[in-house]
Amino acid sequence: MNMFPGSFDSAPNIANWFTINKDGTVRMVSGKVEIGQGINTAFVQIAAEELDIDPDRIEISAGNTKDGLDGGCTAGSQSMQTEGISVRKAASAARMLMLSKASELLQSDVRELNVIDGEIYLNDNSTNLSYWSIAKDIDFNQPVEIYMQPKLPSQRKLAGKSIKRIDLKNKILGTHEFVHDIELDGMLHARVVRPPSVSSRIIKIDIDKINTLKNLKKLVVNGSFIAVIAEREEDAVKLVQQVNKYCKWSTPDKIIEDPLQFIRDTKSPIINSLDKGKIDVLRSDGVSTEVSRKFLCHASIGPCCAVAQWKGNTLEVYTHSQAVFAMKRTLASIFNIDESDVDVMHKHGSGCYGHNGADDVVLDAVLVAKELNGTPVRLVWSREDELSWSPLAPGMVTKIDANLADNLMIESFDISIKSPPHVKRPSGENGEYLLAAEHMSNPLNPPNPVDTPLDKGGAADRNSMPLYDIPNIRIQKQIVYDLPWRTSAMRGLGAFVNVYAIETLMDDIASIQEIDPIEFRLKHLSDPRIIELIERVRDISKWTDRSSGLPKGFAFSRYKNSGAYCAMVVEINVDEDIELINAWAVIDAGEVVNADGVKNQIEGGIIQATSCTLIEEVNFDGEIISATDWENYPIIKFKQTPQIQVELIDRPEEPFLGVGEAAHGPTAAAISNALFTAMNIRIKQLPITRERIISSLNT
């Protein structure tokens, strides 16, 4: 494992991470940003542990390019596994550096010192020294690598405890400042005037007529990027429709009737993700499945927003982007200015679960602000923008052919994955993949993104590698680049569909063999960690006592095959609609920092995944995305809330494993398996709707 993952490239020294103040507070820098997952609380907890201080003393500055600490993108459930480790090392180094100084002053050995909430003790007797009194005489520009000495698991006191989220109280009180709430002197309001669909471009715009519109401060036209600026926000909102009446847009020349069929029929080159052993064609006693999912929306409750201000040639942006440094590089490249002249500062946004329009709205705001000679502007997307102009989660098709050996064990899995790209995040090379970059008068034409290889976690093929003992496995993927719609990362990427395929197929085979589906899986498992996990969820859900009660379903996966393990049992009610009633999840996330934080992520993941499994799908009218409001893109409601029990297997000696996306695939598959138990029907196209169940019963 890399000793210094990610963030240490830009932040090798203790001073890059921590400032110890004489007033008894600590300023800590984080390269990973809060997107509702509680990461900054976990970081504070790790730092407080190593520093031996109360977590309340720590103020965190996260995702601000002015701090210079580049933590990369906050994505992929990677934050604990990469920067979490770095925070621990940097905090331990800060402690050790201060204790070295104290040992000099006290003429003692460092090993005789200990710390209680920042006060330094010598052989358990108080001294007149504390972090707060000695820090001013210490040069913290020292390499973390030299001083780091993280505690042993047995020495940790805070680890695994559930401290409260540092940001949640103010969010409940309504006093937290989200990016939407920023107010700068003289700030104006802007909105974007959108074309009817993704490939439409402006043909004609009647600027004279538009300039007569009431309350229009300024119209911005840059190719097909059109925006309105007003002094009052409600005027900007109203002007969008008024202006669009004077715009004529081109109509798309290509209509795709059935996007999923288009994906299924792709002729894109086949990429071999894995070739293990020997694959025969599907034999007559083999079992095959082909599952698919329609496109999904990120569907954040608060639309994307950014605040931008140009001061001469320098630019400041407030954003809820998950990748502030990539955004800084991207903006510098688009506007041909020095990176040092751009600062990008993260502010909390409405929850996003991957790559929504958070990055796109930044370029929108910056293009508008460019027309304003130093006046700041706040640009918020409309509900329709949020649902239909954020990148979608791609529709996807996964097929598995399984051959069985004479002893009825699985001999081979032949897996084929077809999907539009899952990752189109701007990285800084050029303005790639930002929405407005396609609309500007000099549009950028970025190359097709490379789908992340499986050995780096995969994207379309994420979690396509089963963790069962199967001697022969072939995994092939085809990335579909010729659909018009913008797609990018949403929680789990390909894992959602791939886990659905593997875990429903496991139940299908078990059913043919008339074996308990958990028993069938255990026959194909040798990793004691997975076996313990599955046996635990079998116990707490009373799986073996299934003769009465609601139908149950089981599923398992380990996110990315390298993150947290999740085994799940669900109980559903099949009536007019399917309803998830109970879920039991057992999670092995290695060393747990904040137990309640992990549980919160898993509970939320199960509820969101239930929505994706039972309700959500994007439909199209030609090229137009029909998901424009909550009526035509409904999501789960309060009355559909299941009961959830999450148990953690804490392994303090093991590395952290990211949990944010662990529950998604298992939830979908477990619900489908419960329906299979209840009605002996297998719904292969997500979402599992009432209509699909009825049509499945009729065939």
Partner 1 sequence: MANKYSLTVNGQKHEIESDPDTPLLYILRNDLKLKGTKFGCGGGVCGACTVIMDGLAIFSCDTPIWSIDDKKIETIEGISQDGIHPLQELLIDEQAGQCGYCLSGIIMKVKAITDDDPTKSVDDIANELDRNLCRCGSQLRILNAVKKYLDGKSSR
| DSSP one-letter string for 392-450 | BBPPEEEEEEEEE-TTSSEEEEEEEEEES-S-----SSSSTT-HHHHHSSS---PPPPP
Which lies closer to partner 1 via its Cβ, residue 352 or residue 533?
352
**Which tokens is 656 given?**
């952290």
Which lies closer to partner 1 via its Cβ, residue 15 or residue 489?
489
**How crowded is residue 34: how many other Cβ atoms within 10 Å of its Cβ?**
23
Interface with partner 1 (CB under 8 A): 35-38, 162, 164-165, 167-169, 171-178, 180-181, 183, 232-234, 237, 299-303, 348-353, 380, 382-383, 596, 600-601, 603-608, 611, 629-631, 635-639, 641-644
| DSSP one-letter string for 638-697 | GGGPPEEEEEE---TTSPB---TTTTHHHHHHHHHHHHHHHHS----EES--HHHHHHHH
Calculate helix-pair angle for 664-679, 690-698, nearest 10 degrees.
40
CB of 259 to partner 1, least distance (A): 24
CB of 645 to partner 1, least distance (A): 10
Alpha carbons within 13 angstroms on the beta-carbon side of residue 171 total: 15
Distance CA 179, CA 296 (A): 25
CB of 301 to partner 1, least distance (A): 5
CB of 242 to partner 1, least distance (A): 14
Residue 578's φ and ψ, nearest 5 degrees, are -85, 140
- The answer to whether 308 touches 365, Cβ cutoff 8 Å, is yes
Which lies closer to partner 1 via its Cβ, residue 346 or residue 439?
346
Which lies closer to partner 1 via its Cβ, residue 134 or residue 192?
192
CB of 501 to partner 1, least distance (A): 23
Nearest to residue 524, comparing CAs of 513, 496, 210? Answer: 513
CB of 232 to partner 1, least distance (A): 7
CB of 183 to partner 1, least distance (A): 7
- The answer to whether 161 touches 595, Cβ cutoff 8 Å, is yes
CB of 664 to partner 1, least distance (A): 11
How many residues does this entry show for the chain? 699
Q: Report the DSSP pairing between strands 643-648 and 578-588.
A: parallel
CB of 60 to partner 1, least distance (A): 16
Which lies closer to partner 1 via its Cβ, residue 259 or residue 302?
302
Which lies closer to partner 1 via its Cβ, residue 15 or residue 670?
670
The H or E element that residue 369 is part of is helix 358-369
According to DSSP, residue 81 is labeled I
Which lies closer to partner 1 via its Cβ, residue 337 or residue 615?
615
Q: 3-class DSSP state for residue 297?
A: coil
Which lies closer to partner 1 via its Cβ, residue 96 or residue 306?
306
- The answer to whether 410 touches 402, Cβ cutoff 8 Å, is yes
Q: Is the peptide bond before 687 cis (omega within 30 degrees of 0)?
A: yes
**Which tokens is 307 given?**
């605040």
Cα of first residue to Cα of last residue in the chain, in angstroms, is 52
CB of 350 to partner 1, least distance (A): 4
Which lies closer to partner 1 via its Cβ, residue 604 or residue 655?
604
Distance CA 195, CA 251 (A): 9
| DSSP one-letter string for 171-236 | HHHT----GGG---TT-EEEEEE--SSTT--EEEE-HHHHHTSTT--EEEEETTEEEEEESSHHHH
Which lies closer to partner 1 via its Cβ, residue 32 or residue 348?
348
CB of 79 to partner 1, least distance (A): 15
CB of 85 to partner 1, least distance (A): 24
